[in-house]
Structure 1
Amino acid sequence: MQQGLPTSDQLGVSHIGNATPEPAESPRQGILSGIGAKMNDWGFTPVFNLVQMYLANPSVGQQTGNHEALTFVSVGGDFDLQKIAGFSGATIHFQQLFVPFTTNLGWGTQVGDVLAGQPGPYVPKVSHLALFTWEQKAFNDRLDIELGKSNPGLYFGAPVCNQGFGCQSAILQKNAGMNPPIYSNWGGRVRYNITPALSVQAGVWRSNPAFPFTNGWEWTDTATDSNTWLANIVYRTAYQTDPYPKSYELVFYHNTAVQTDPFTLATHNGTSGMYAGGRQVVYRPDGGKSGASDPTAVSVFGSLTTSFDAHASSGLAMTGIAGLMVEAPFRSRPHDSYGLSFLWATLTPNEQSYLKQQNLAAGGTGYTVGRTQFAVKLDANIAVSRSIVLSPYVMRSWNTSTWGNPAYADTPKNGYVVGILASVFFDRMLGLTDH
């Protein structure tokens, strides 16, 4: 089962809980603008988005020349209970996700590594409750509490690279138990904004190991769950307040699930680790002119996720990414961005021994791939219109492992993986929202 999926914002989940000011609303356009304005005035902001995903491995992994395609449709909205019922600071968030079309859900296993195959989604069910929470703010929005069905990836371990889908940490999803973005679990969080830029947050969620076969509407789960405990500190600014915006986050996690060492099969309770990520604008041709909402800018970014547990079930010791991003390189296209990144993933010594063991058991002559896989990636976000964004990428991998499919007798191929996401924001296109 592959755990990587598009990030929640790419799936149209509008609720991200940032402490920094949101961008200003743009002029409403679309054939339903009048209806949208009335709904917004009443207190309802609709969400209606689509993400079409295509992934291919022309030359990398165990079974090359395959592809996967999926269609995600997100429907729901935010209910402002202050406008609707007079409950100050209260909002209900709801989103239902549909996956009407899928092709080759086993693509991630066919590639079979950490960096190229891990993002291959395995989505056997066609409908999922992605978000259903009550959010309560108080003390001039400094205190933010949220309870219900959600995914912790909405609030912890925010991606720092150009495409959120491309820098999700396998350790956060596997070790920490932060199930992929479309899978919601019971949980809650509390955040306090010390300043408009600085915040601290803590939360706990149930984590279901059988998540591909859930739809989010379950009251209880048939599989044995664990608890995912998370805490972070975030410093984040935006162009409205900072000519050189920055975003830094430090996360600590603990998951209560029983861990089984992949090589010795010894067990122990719980696993912990940390995530550190950041992005900083370092250059603007205009010298940092104030008031520019979408200036041409160059950013550096990076993140590192490490496990404190050398015997965790996942066999992952460390993952990381570092790179450069160029925003609005052409003034005629202020919403485009391009990224260059270097990625790596290191397995635990016992996971490496396990892969060697499995290679011989499958009839191989010996596993010679090292513990650390490397990759270089080029990607882009191209705004076709105010409501359609294309996100292509190409990645070259070296030292490709069999982590995702250990029972393989040969040596997996180094090579290229490519993909593209098409995001269509129908709510904006139709004029149902200004955001």
Structure 2
Amino acid sequence: MTVVCIALGGAASADAQTVKNEGVAAPALSTQAENNADEPPAANQSNVSHIGNVIPEPPESARQGPLASLGQKLNDWGFTPSLNLTQMYLGNPSAGQQTGNHEILTFVAVGGDFDLQKIAGFPGATIHFQQVFAPFTTNVTWGNQVGDTLGGKPGPFVPQKAHLAVFTWEQKAFGDRLDFEVGKSSPDNYFALPVCNQGFGCTSALLYDSAGMNPPIYPNWSARVRYSLTPAWSFQVGVWRSNAQYPWTNGWEWTDKTPDSNAWLANVVYHTTYQTDPYPKSYELMFYYNTGKQTDPYTLGTHKGTSGIYFGGRQVIYRPDGGKSTIDDPTAVALFATATGSFDSHNSDGLSMTGTAGVTLEAPLRSRPHDSVSLSVNWATVTPHDHAYLEQANLAAGGSGYAVGRTEYGLRLDANVELTRSIVLSPYVMRTWKMNTWLNPAYAGTPRNGVVFGVLATVFIDKMLGLTDH
């Protein structure tokens, strides 16, 4: 497992979180950058945003590049290096609470996999390591400026410049049917894997906030086990410590200063590829339970633990070539959908359900087999009590009344374009309707429905240099 694409994290305003945890007492809201840019929050960040695995790993190809011979020697010895860069630009020209803003971020991921069977003679054992750096950031509070569930949620908040992303021991056995891993990692490397065209396009805020699945650059102690019943069917269980202090952590902490919770996850997966299925499909059903203390945002009543369910599915439904087995990357049309629901209507997160449904066109031009374009509908519904809380927060901030329903909608168009064998460009644009103030509750006005967009460029430096053939 070489993690070639990073997931990013963001946080809600500290004042907004205080209002949500302690009642509607603050008349106005200040941004995190203004008040608490250098200080960790005292309570769990229930409105933390992130971006998931944005681009799938390119397929294997002939090793090329100035360091190809070195890369082959390292691989023969047992080490596969990983070196990648992601450049992000996000903007909100007309949507949300504060329009006309943008965010720029640069991320560099450095690491690799150590094959212990080659290095030390331990069959089926691999050590995975990855460190992520964020050397250049501009306007990391962009998500708060948009302030809603769909448009602003992808805005990463990254106060630390370096993060341990992965440091685990993975052990396989019984012909790789049994897969066990322990160490520091993030659960969304293994659970709720993206089925949409761009991973962050179908990410659920419920999973990262309510379930406690801290984003990949914010790992925590974990253990998981997966067993493959057949090449297509598998089931998996895992437990992660869910760190209430992220994104102010760097991943190297042995213990945490504030109490953590445990995130328990279990899934069953059916997955096929073009190598075995002319119309491949991927389905995942997952249940989660987090042991953390929950605070109803409206009544401030508390209880322990929260749980919910996730479903994600993707199915190729049409191929112009009729399903020829000799083509590994055909032109194809695929449908996808996700739905995440909370069993707890009084959870601290305040979300009841999130989902997305869309269609992806793979390889629209046969001369460009790795390009794709997708159109999807996205939605997010807050709980009745969280909606009542948002109404009170609006009045407390000096507003004239909160005239937004419980469900927000977005229509999203995105694409992945392979500029070279080592550079992938991923633009997206989304039009929103019924935008809420979930990410920034203490806002006196009504957020504007409008357009948010982003452009991500991922450079696989390791492949460009010939250090890897992936």
TM-score, scaled to structure 1: 0.96
Structure 2 residue 426 is the aligned partner of structure 1 residue 430:
no
* 1:211 counterpart SS class: coil
The answer to whether the Cα contact below 8 Å between 1:6 and 1:181 also exists between their aligned partners in 2 is no
Aligned counterpart, 1:102: 137
Deviation at 1:4, TM superposition (A): 3.2
* 1:351 counterpart SS class: helix
| C-alpha separation in 1, matches of 2:50 and 2:187 | 14
Choose the corresponding residue for 1:253, options 288, 291, 306.
Answer: 288
Aligned counterpart, 1:182: 217
Partner amino acid for 2:402? Y
| C-alpha separation in 1, matches of 2:227 and 2:122 | 20
The answer to whether the Cα contact below 8 Å between 2:54 and 2:198 also exists between their aligned partners in 1 is no
Structure 2 residue 273 is the aligned partner of structure 1 residue 273:
no
Aligned counterpart, 2:164: 129
Aligned counterpart, 2:332: 297
| C-alpha separation in 2, matches of 1:134 and 1:154 | 14
Q: Deviations over 1:148-175 (max 9, x none)?
A: 0000000001111100011110000010
Which consecutive unaligned segments of at least 5 residues does structure 2 have? 1-10, 13-47
Choose the corresponding residue for 1:120, options 147, 155, 165.
Answer: 155
Partner amino acid for 1:6? I
Structure 2 residue 417 is the aligned partner of structure 1 residue 372:
no
Deviation at 1:292, TM superposition (A): 1.0
| C-alpha separation in 2, matches of 1:221 and 1:8 | 26
The answer to whether the Cα contact below 8 Å between 1:8 and 1:182 also exists between their aligned partners in 2 is no
Q: Deviations over 1:8-47 (max 9, x none)?
A: 464x9x7xxxxxxx95x31110000000000011110000
Structure 2 residue 272 is the aligned partner of structure 1 residue 237:
yes
The answer to whether the Cα contact below 8 Å between 1:373 and 1:400 also exists between their aligned partners in 2 is yes
Q: Deviations over 1:380-433 (max 9, x none)?
A: 000000100000000000000000001011100000001011000000000000
Structure 2 residue 448 is the aligned partner of structure 1 residue 413:
yes
Aligned counterpart, 1:228: 263
Deviation at 1:6, TM superposition (A): 3.2
Structure 2 residue 428 is the aligned partner of structure 1 residue 383:
no
Aligned counterpart, 2:379: 344
Percent identity over the alignment? 68
Deviation at 1:185, TM superposition (A): 0.3
The answer to whether the Cα contact below 8 Å between 1:4 and 1:168 also exists between their aligned partners in 2 is no
Deviation at 1:325, TM superposition (A): 0.1
The answer to whether the Cα contact below 8 Å between 1:55 and 1:418 also exists between their aligned partners in 2 is yes
Alignment of 1:185-200 (within 5 A): 185-200=220-235
Structure 2 residue 40 is the aligned partner of structure 1 residue 5:
no
Alignment of 1:276-287 (within 5 A): 276-287=311-322
* 2:217 counterpart SS class: coil
Give the CA RMSD over aligned residues.
1.1
Aligned counterpart, 1:30: 65
| C-alpha separation in 1, matches of 2:382 and 2:50 | 21
The answer to whether the Cα contact below 8 Å between 1:179 and 1:207 also exists between their aligned partners in 2 is yes
> What is the count of residue pairs matched by the alignment?
425
Deviation at 1:360, TM superposition (A): 0.5
| C-alpha separation in 2, matches of 1:339 and 1:188 | 35
Choose the corresponding residue for 2:355, options 302, 317, 320.
Answer: 320
Alignment of 1:135-214 (within 5 A): 135-214=170-249
